[in-house]
Amino acid sequence: MHSKLVTAICFRLLAIYVALRVVIVIPELWMQYIGFMRSAESDPSRAPLWYLGGGALLLLVGLLMAWLLWHASQKVLRDLPAGSDPLSAPQLNGYRLLGCFFLISGLSQLPNQGLMLWELVQQQAYAPSRIIHYLAEPCVLIVAGLCLVIGKSAVLDFLRQRAQG
């Protein structure tokens, strides 16, 4: 694995993570907006135009950041020379150490997020957006950690084998 390839993978994972975080917020923003509109029916002077503008700005900036990160990864991949030098041992160990940090962080978040999901299931207040909200960050961290620790191709081969049966 080459250092530019690792950089491109990290940019893409970060772009996916940012896009997921933005998309996860949309249902909650909508529900809060509906609540504000109901309260504004009784008092029209409390119309939440500032809230709608802030939510739209959040979505716009988040999606713009995800798009810029995705295109930065494409630029890094385009600039990758065919015969580029592979990572040196210290660089590879540094990426693996960073991968271990991501893996441990993601795995340590799973029990807490699982308990929160269990409480939602018990209260029958779960929705797909809340499930994604609780599981997106640990899953992205785990996948990023696995990609950095054992390499992208090994992770993809493992996932393909699992998908085939």
Q: What is the pLDDT of residues 9-31, one digit of tens each?
A: 778 878 877 887 787 777 777 77
Which helix (H) or strand (E) segment holds residue 123: the answer is helix 89-123
Query: Residue 134: exposed, middle, or buried by beta-carbon count in 10 A (0-12, 13-18, 19+)?
Result: buried
Q: Is 1 in a helix, a strand, or coil?
A: coil
pLDDT, greater one: 80 or 102: 102
Q: What is the mean pLDDT of residues 53-62?
A: 83
End-to-end CA distance of the chain: 28
Pairwise CA distance, residues 149 & 136, whole Å:
20
Task: Find tokens 């940090």 and name the residue.
Answer: 101
Q: Which of 94, 132, 129, 134 is nearest to 110 (CA)?
A: 134
Token pair for residue 157? 């081969």
Q: What is the DSSP letter of 72?
A: H
Class of residue 160 by CB neighbours under 10 A (exposed 0-12, middle 13-18, buried 19+)? exposed
Q: Which helix (H) or strand (E) holds 51?
A: helix 49-78
Q: Which of 15, 57, 18, 53 is nearest to 33 (CA)?
A: 53
In contact, 142 and 103? CB cutoff 8 Å? yes
Mean pLDDT of 89-99: 72
Out of 13-27, 65-79, 107-121, 144-158, which region has the weakest mean confidence (pLDDT)? 144-158
For residue 154, what pLDDT is reported?
65
